[in-house]
Amino acid sequence: QQKVQQSPESLIVPEGAMTSLNCTFSDSASQYFAWYRQHSGKAPKALMSIFSNGEKEEGRFTIHLNKASLHFSLHIRDSQPSDSALYLCAVLSGGNYKPTFGKGTSLVVHP
């Protein structure tokens, strides 16, 4: 059964800092890797996703995937207070569609 773990559990960074969030998974056949962001009291919303090894950049956000090490990460450049939220990583295994989420990393960016 797929196990998805996130670290750190919580993070406080100053405005303008680089933030790095980590996610590990257990199923080496996993095929789709995504980050969701959930602001307090709101619905989780898909942020970025990646299928193959390497990096993908969208604005201030970069996702990095290393399937061999069963790890992917999200990096936020020039972190803003509006980035404060719960960040959830999601992994899809091969075969049947079954998204497995981590517990989340709570990020606070203080001005």
Footprint of other proteins (CB under 8 A): 1, 9, 32, 34, 36, 41-46, 49, 88, 90, 92, 96-104
Q: Output the smallest distance, CB 37 to other proteins, in A.
A: 11
| Minimum distance of other proteins from residue 90's CB (angstroms) | 8
Give the C-alpha separation, 69 to 79, whole Å: 27
Which residue, 77 or 103, is less far from other proteins as judged by CB? 103
d(CA 24, CA 69): 8
Residue closer to other proteins, measured from CB, 42 or 77: 42
Strand runs labelled E in the chain: 4-7, 10-14, 19-25, 32-38, 45-50, 54-58, 61-66, 71-76, 85-92, 99-101, 105-110
Task: Output the smallest distance, CB 42 to other proteins, in A.
Answer: 6
Tell whether the torsion through CA atoms of 19, 23, 44 and 34 is positive or negative.
positive
CA–CA separation, 14 and 30 (whole Å): 34
Nearer to other proteins, 46 or 108 (CB): 46
- CB closer to other proteins out of 65 and 88: 88
